[in-house]
Amino acid sequence: MSDWMFLFVVVTAVIVGADASSLGAGQYKLGGWADTTPLVWGLGTALLWIIVFPAYLITRPKLVAAKAAVPVEEAAATRKCAVCDQVYDAQYDGCPHCAKANA
Ligand SMILES: [Zn+2]
């Protein structure tokens, strides 16, 4: 393998690993390739570029969609009390800070 090809593979592996990490790869339980962790994506790209890199390109839209779906759930996980302005866990029926029932 020539030097530029080696460099290309290493750079691609780093980009894939970083991109998979930013997309939260491996956290969504989507099944198959989509559950691969960022570390495995990066190492796999470095060692088996011809297989893993195309697989990542095919899988990436699933990760983008999964990541896009997550912030909605996170936003719903907390509420802000209208009375005391404290943020609290949405599992409570009312604000635990001032004990006023959440309407
Ligand atoms: Zn309150």
- Summarised one tens digit per residue, pLDDT across range 17-72 is 999 999 999 988 888 888 999 999 999 999 999 999 999 999 999 999 988 887 65
Residue 81 domain-assigned (yes or no): no
Ligand 1 center from residue 70 Cα (angstroms): 26
Region of 94 please: left (phi>0), alpha (psi -120 to 50) or beta: beta
pLDDT at 97 over 80: yes
- The reply to whether the predicted model has a pTM over 0.85 is no
Domain of 27? 3-73
Give me the pLDDT at residue 95, please: 85
pLDDT at 86 over 90: no
Give me the pLDDT at residue 74, please: 56
Residue 84 domain-assigned (yes or no): no
Ligand 1 center from residue 76 Cα (angstroms): 17
Give me the pLDDT at residue 24, please: 92
| Count of the separate structural domains present in the chain | 1
Ligand 1 center from residue 71 Cα (angstroms): 24
Ligand 1 center from residue 101 Cα (angstroms): 9
Residue 83 domain-assigned (yes or no): no
Ligand 1 center from residue 69 Cα (angstroms): 29
Convert the chain into a string of H (helix), E (strand) and C (coil): CCHHHHHHHHHHHHHHHHHHHHCCCCCCCCCHHHHCCHHHHHHHHHHCHHHHHHHHHHHHHHHHHHHHHHHHHHHHCEEECCCCCCEEECCCCECCCCCCECC
pLDDT higher at 20 or 91: 20
Residue 34 domain-assigned (yes or no): yes
Residue 100 domain-assigned (yes or no): no
Ligand 1 center from residue 88 Cα (angstroms): 8
Number of other CB atoms surrounding residue 62 within 10 Å: 18
